[in-house]
Amino acid sequence: MPRKIVVHAGFHKTGTSTVQAVLRANRKALMPALAIRLKGQMQELVSATRGYSTYVTSDALEKVSRRFDTLLNDLPGMPRRTLVLSAEELSGHMPGRGPLADYSATPVLMYEFWQRAQARFPETPVVFCFATRATDAWERSAWAEHVKSSGMRLDFAEYSARYSSAADLAAVVSEVRRRVPAPVHSYALEDCAELPLGPAGPVLDLCDIPDEIRSALIPQPPQNTRLGEDTLAALLEINRTHTDTDARNAAKAQLLGKGPDI
């Protein structure tokens, strides 16, 4: 069983991609102390968490439980290593997808993870970790991500008015603390700019990494940063003028200089 489980569950647009880049780039160096599971190794689980946040049904939550159990049951023996799970979609879909207006599913999901982890490894401590971000910066980054990656047709003012409740990330963390009987840590993205490993630092602080390993880790540049305003305006226009998904994605790919999949 793991000596400890750290669940880094978000939020979207709070430096999570950078955290995961640091973990990925340093996986070999961290291996003696840390077992890492990122989104690519948890596809079925994050598909279920997105589904639960969208439909909020008992069946959808049961699917989350089953897939989390499978993840835990498939772990190798690791009595001296911490298990870290890092994927923002462990908290569900990013608000702004149709009627999904906030992170109200997150506390339910975190309780489910805690409950299943305790059932599987009753002697293993479980801790949760979230990053927060200033309201306006988060809203702008979330809107920009939707414009780039979905068919979002709202301009920023319309998006902000419709989904304003989603930006109070600290309130979601408080609700997780209220509902989950486990340590729940949070840090502000704005406080990470000068840290040697950026936003990965507070996550690794929870993982009990020996100093000789920690000091050798290689930082990574910020990942998935917001596009410029002119590019976002062009992407928004594509969303508003292309009703066919394939045509829209092709136009975006051409604009961004990428292949057909963006």
In this structure, the strands spanning 126-132 and 34-38 are unpaired
Exposed, middle or buried, 73 (CB in 10 Å: 0-12/13-18/19+)?
Answer: exposed
- Residue 168: pLDDT band (50, 70, 90) is very high
The HSE-up count of residue 47 (CA atoms within 13 Å, CB side) is 8
Residue linked to tokens 């950078």: 18
Per-residue model confidence (pLDDT) at position 98: 79
Question: Rounded to two decimals, what is the model's pTM?
Answer: 0.95
Per-residue model confidence (pLDDT) at position 261: 45
Residue linked to tokens 């051409």: 254
Per-residue model confidence (pLDDT) at position 167: 96
- Which residues share a beta bridge with 47? none
- Diameter of the chain by CA atoms? 56
Q: What mean pLDDT comes out for the span 46-75?
A: 97
The HSE-up count of residue 78 (CA atoms within 13 Å, CB side) is 21
- Residue 78: pLDDT band (50, 70, 90) is confident
Q: Kindly tell me the sign of the dihedral angle through the C-alpha atoms of 18, 19, 22, 28.
A: negative
Picking from 75, 78, 76, 79, the residue whose alpha carbon sits closest to that of residue 42 is 75
Whole-number Å distance between alpha carbons of 145 and 162: 16
Give the mean pLDDT of the chain.
Answer: 96
- Residue 97: pLDDT band (50, 70, 90) is confident
Give the tens place of pLDDT for each residue, 133-153. Answer: 999 999 999 999 999 999 999
Q: Are 91 and 11 in contact (CB under 8 A)?
A: yes
Helix (H) or strand (E) segment spanning residue 72: helix 58-73
Q: Where are the beta strands (DSSP E) in 134-201?
A: 184-188
Domains annotated on the chain, with CATH: 4-222 (3.40.50), 227-262 (no CATH)
Give the tens place of pLDDT for each residue, 220-258. Answer: 999 999 999 999 999 999 999 999 999 999 999 999 997
Per-residue model confidence (pLDDT) at position 106: 98
Residue 259 pLDDT > 60, yes or no? Answer: no
Picking from 174, 178, 201, the residue whose alpha carbon sits closest to that of residue 189 is 201
Picking from 113, 114, 89, the residue whose alpha carbon sits closest to that of residue 103 is 89
For residue 217, CA distances in Å to 5, 33, 77, 169, 225 come to: 21, 13, 24, 29, 22
